[in-house]
Chains A and B, each alone.
Chain A
Amino acid sequence: MASMLKAVNQVSPPLDERSKYLRRLIVRALDKGERGHIGSSMSLVEILRALYDDVLRFRPVEPKWPDRDRMILSKGHGCITLYVMLADKGFIPVETLDTFCHRDSILGGHPESNKIPGVEASTGALGHGLSIGVGMALAARMQKRDSRVFVVMGDGEINEGSVWEAALSAGKHKLSNLIAIVDYNKIQSAGPTREIQDLEPLLDKWRAFGFAAIDVDGHDLPQLRAALQSAPLERDRPTAIICHTVKGKGIPFAEHDPNWHHKAKVAPDVIAKMYAALE
């Protein structure tokens, strides 16, 4: 029950200006697109920020650089945060965020690798990403490249059996170049994970599948950086980092609320309140 206790007692550091700025870009896309998985995107900001700012090796001008690290957003519905990071890093213009979910936009409701530079796989059908990551990690090893593969999953997503098929194979192949990350915001589509499909004891599950696993505060950047940069945590093992997060983080009236898992046509005054919360 260690994980649950941590979640209940979690006191994350206050959001700094960059975390607020990135969240304002999320609100911008939500506003212009008139919809979005807002709660799922807000819980993910510090995880992707730490990855793109401090961990991943990539070249925005050469998105297919063979020696890049791979980052697969397996919880594809959190894509606004990914789009924001890709815009922030120069893979796409920031203005493209204003086309989110528009007709003919490259930025759809789930990320598509054939349309958006920097997106490594088309996700949205849950439970696919870790398998792809295992394949990429195996390919990197066979091709003698030192690329690392990061797969970010949702907590609801890991209800899917295919995740655990992939976890078994990662353990078998001792994929030390694979890092599985769970955005554990404790709320899935219809309600709390402990009611819909309890995951505990979650660290023990990953360890049983052969991973070196730790949990961190998923909004605490020093903790996130330390964990991500030290992977592999153990020699000859894949790594699992369970990130305890808050669904809707940064928007007080959306936090912990399943009703903010996805929202459409958010009223202008509510958008204004979201911006105000992120000043």
Chain B
Amino acid sequence: MTATASSESAKVEDFIACGAADAIPRFYGDALVEAARRDPRIVCLCADLRGSTETDLFARELPDRFVDAGIAEANMIGMAAGMARCGDIPFVHSFCVFVTRRCYDQVAVQVAYPALPVKIVGFLPGLTTMLGVSHQAIDDIALMRALPNMTIIEPSGSEQLGAAVEAALTVDGPVYLRMKRPDTAIPGLLPRSLTPGKGEILRLGRDGVIIACGVMVAAAMEASRRLAANGIDAGVVNMPTIKPLDETLVVESARRTGLIVVAENHSIIGGLGSAIAETLLEAGVSTGFARVGIQDRFAEGGSTPYLHAKFGLTADAIVEAYERAAGRRKAMLASSSAA
């Protein structure tokens, strides 16, 4: 591990630490307003969730470019497509479940197919809500990944929320932003950049690499620290762009270490883990491999720490997965040397 990677990783952990009792900052909402002041093409649509999507700021600051679509996501997507065809750059907002699954046909035919610059912004990714199965997006990445022309970006945390807006704007076509609001104030937060299509090495790692997105990046850093206590040097990659995947970094990480663990706050089917498995197999890389995510089941309502513990989205689960992957790696090496 390099000194640079180590000091950067320390910063990431700092961001995750809980802050004081200040008002919860609204990094996304502020960044969107700021971008819209610079670019008059940006318009904002919301499906009656202004506070939860931080678009009340936009509604207040730029009311002439704000449309509340009401609780009608399919129509909101169609409207955004019509506006994009007239030269606007619409950002549409709801919870992750509703802005993907609820209006999938419109997203596919009216946004993805014509490759329009509609930025689809969802909040409450995976198991981050008390509100139960109806509000938990465990398949949104899978749905969006299956659509040609769609870019998928999930920031690692508050430090990348603002950068996600800029990243979405550097992509010409449609983008799905999978966002999580901070739970608390974060004093001294240092914003981090986000380059679409690029993974970010937080720790290099000699023995294996944990590739994670969203809230699982912090868990991956913690897992890496625990593994280090046992003498295992596991790297961590933050993969904020899930599609198009940084295949070069994935293949290089696997070739270099022979061990990959993927961690995501999403079903193990169709998300980052699937994308990486497909990439590695087609690249002909033989590697120990394990996925951390929701194990093909629906969850339930509960606090985020409770749900993450119960459904295996923790540093412990990543350490266990790492050990499984290491076992597979050993078995593969043994069978190849026996042959």
- Interface residue ranges, A against B (CB under 8 Å): 66, 113-114, 120-122, 124-125, 127-140, 142-143, 161-162, 165-166, 168-169, 172-173
Closest A residue to B75 using CB positions? A165
12 contacts between A and B (CB under 8 A): A66-B86, A122-B114, A124-B109, A128-B105, A131-B76, A131-B77, A135-B79, A135-B80, A139-B87, A162-B78, A169-B75, A173-B67
For A132, list chain B residues within 8 Å (CB).
78-79, 81-82, 85, 110
The residue in B74, B75, B81, B106 that gathers the most chain A C-beta atoms within 10 A of its C-beta is B75
Write out the residue numbers on chain A whose beta carbons fall within 8 Å of the beta carbon of B114: 113-114, 121-122
Cβ-defined contact, B82 with A134, below 8 A: yes
Give min CB distance, B23 to chain A, whole Å: 32
Q: Which of B76, B77, B82, B87 has the most chain A CB within a 10 Å cutoff?
A: B82
Distance, CA A140 to CA B87, complexed state (A):
10
Instruction: Identify B85's interface contact among A120, A129, A172, CB under 8 A.
Output: A120
| B69 surroundings in chain A (CB, below 8 A) | 169
Report Cα–Cα, A275/B115, bound state, in Å: 41
Q: Which B residues lie within 8 Å of A134 (CB)?
A: 75, 78-79, 82
With contact pairs A120-B85, A140-B86, A142-B65 given, residues A169 and B110 touching in the complex (Cβ less than 8 Å): no
- Asked whether A131 lies within 8 Å of B88 as measured between CB atoms, the reply is no
Q: What count of chain B residues pass the 8 Å CB interface test? A: 29
Check if A168 sits within 8 Å of B110, measured CB to CB. no
Q: Nearest chain-A residue to B71 (Cβ)?
A: A165
Which residues of chain A have C-beta atoms less than 8 A from B64's C-beta?
A: 142
**Residues of B contacting A: mostly:** helix
Q: Are A138 and B106 in contact (CB under 8 A)?
A: no
- Interface, chain B (partner A; CB < 8 A): 43, 64-65, 67, 69-70, 72, 74-88, 90, 105-106, 109-110, 113-114
Minimum C-beta distance from A119 to chain B (A): 11
Inter-chain residue pair count (beta carbon < 8 A): 105
Contact for A139 among B86, B109, B110, CB less than 8 A: B86
A166 contacts across to B, CB distance below 8 A: 75, 78-79
Closest to A169 in B: B75
CA distance A139 to B79 in the complex (A): 9
Q: Report the Cα distance A133→B113, complex, angstroms.
A: 18
Q: Which residues of A contact B90 (CB under 8 A)?
A: 135
Given known A131-B77, A143-B87, contact A122–B82 (CB-CB < 8 A):
no
Interfacial chain B residues near A136, Cβ < 8 Å: 82-83, 85-86
Tell which of A128, A143, A165 touches B110, judged by Cβ atoms closer than 8 Å. A128
Query: Given the known A-B contacts A121-B110, A131-B77, A143-B87, are A168 and B82 also in contact in the complex, defined by CB atoms under 8 Å?
Result: no
Q: How far is the CA of A131 from the CA of B80 in the complex (A)?
A: 8
In the complex the two chains form, what is the Cα distance from A12 to B174 in whole Å? 46
A132 and B80 CA atoms in complex are apart in Å by 7
Which of chain A's residues has its CB closest to B88's CB?
A139
Complex Cα gap A125–B78 (Å): 12
Q: In the bound complex, do residue A131 and residue B86 qualify as a contact, i.e. CB atoms below 8 Å apart?
A: no
Contact B78 A135 (CB under 8 A): yes
How far apart sit A122 and B109, CA to CA, in the bound complex (Å)? 7
Contact status B65-A131, CB under 8 Å: no
Distance of A125 Cα from B76 Cα, bound (Å)? 16
- How far is it, in angstroms, between the C-alpha of A128 and the C-alpha of B105 when the chains are bound? 9
